[in-house]
Structure 1
Amino acid sequence: MPKKSPRTKKVTSSALKTGPPPVAPKPRLLPFYAPAFSWDTFENFFCDFLAACPELIGKDGIPQRIVSTSLYGMRGDNQYGIDIRAEIANGEVWAFQCKHYKSWGPADTRDVIAKCEYTADRKFLLVTRTVSSESRDEVAKHADWQIWDSDDISREFLARLPLETAARLLYTNFGPSWPKELLNLPGLGPLYTSDAKFAPFLEEGRTFHHRIGLIGRKDWLKTLDDFIVNEQERVLIFSGRGGVGKSRILREWSQGFSDGTTDGLSGLYPIHLQTSVPLSTPALVLWFWCLMMPIDWTTCAAHYSASFRRGNM
């Protein structure tokens, strides 16, 4: 009797379909647990957060903007039980006590509240660990107190700031890897907000400065507006000899975002990456104008090689 040939299994198109992508959760908490992160780093970080003027929810549930903030004294001073003092747009004063401990319990919470002698409209206890429900119950006994643990602080920080501001604070207080880890924004070290980028050009005594209003150049401002709303173009090469006015035009254009005069472009946050590159003429400077919008940086080189040069200045 002849041997049967092995049966070949027919592979259907459905069998070739791939499954769902692997689950790979990203970090969602600020790295307070890192060995290099100390109590004074925590105080400075949170003061930087408040100095960025976020809107925080008030006792009445209405967002209130921080208008000024400062560290209240230093270690060894009589700080009356607070570390940071902040003034709010509605005239209130809020006080913050920072605690960077390995563990935290209800007794620690009671102790902080009992020792606080500072008079403020609201008082916040900030703890870099997860706190128990018992600690929250202790705080709930006092109408002017609120407790934020590591989860609360991380959530408020990530929700209340513009992306470029959050990235800058992460870079400064936690290191260059954390903008990527928490915001998926790689390489934030060389990036500046518009105010930070152009502040030196407003200083007295500079030969090239921005203290005089821009005259003309409306066609270039229109070119920049057109570039931003064009979804097919992500990189603009803006080149010219040193001193001809490249940065002055960019600053004027940046002001349109902050004062609302750039029509149809609200909600965008301009940031800058300036770098000199070896072009054919050493005096040429390559400017990348980047926006806080999704960009596939893995193909940035392809975008660059295919980008356009809208004339030299």
Structure 2
Amino acid sequence: MSDAQKALDAARQQIEHAIADQSKRPSIAGFFDEATNTISYVVHDPATKEAAIIDSVLDYEAASGRTSNGSADLIVEYVRENDLTVTWLIETHAHADHISAAPYLQEKLGGKLAIGRDIIKVQNVFGKLFNAGTEFQRDGSQFDHLFDDGETFRIGALEGIALHVPGHTPADMAFIVGDAAFVGDTMFMPDFGTARADFPGGDARELYRSIRRLLELPEETRLFLCHDYKAPGRDEYAWETTVGQQRAGNVHVRDGVTEDEFVEMRTKRDETLAMPQLIMPSVQVNIRGGRLPQPEDNGVSYIKIPVNAV
């Protein structure tokens, strides 16, 4: 049995235990940022009140280049009101559509900043694109912890496991906590489909295999998504679904859709998509663990925009 299959089997077993025993299920609060269509999560163990924050958002005004902490402060307020102790600040991947607020939240609330180990691949690709120079370390050292496929972790008494799900980017991870899976940008709501795979290092075939891996989890598994854009005909934002609902109705990757069919659809669709509005500042900052580039001799940090390079 391969290591990847062992990791998936361990995740299945963990979820089945949590489905059978309510005490093994996390409490989850979602925070929707409409400016970037991003959902951040506070996941905590009701018994110990230990918590993880997943995929936080720093407010950024592209026209002025100014940052603010309104979205992150809602999370700080929630954590403090509920007397939670933050042990993890988790990124499912290096986001291309928003800047992470993890360093700000770490300063306010503590916790270890973590991401998948293949962030190193992303740092290498984008370090070259932004001509970041030798002062930018391409070894993941900007993060406190790098997760491997199948690695286990804990949030209080709750069991967690990390699964590598590349395709959208090389570094994407899904994090299973109890009966819940935080799947980042692999999938959206069933009526909206799946993430794009045309960023540097992305691969539609890998994305299909990663999604099908996740859809081997028990049908009752709760899936929590990183984004929602309201599919045509739907008036409300939504970000929670199940494996069973995705297998039955995902418009891109439901049961019966072959790998070749998905790759053809995804490739053609991606060719029609514009780059995310905040891709340049977001990736440039997020590969640094959410920290701005070092200030220059005038004390100001600068975001580079490579011209005619993407």
TM range (shorter): under 0.3
Give the structure with the larger strand fraction: 2
Query: Per residue, is there more helix in 1 or in 2?
Result: 1
TM-score by length of 1: 0.27
Higher relative contact order (CA 8 A, sep 6+): 2
TM-score by length of 2: 0.28
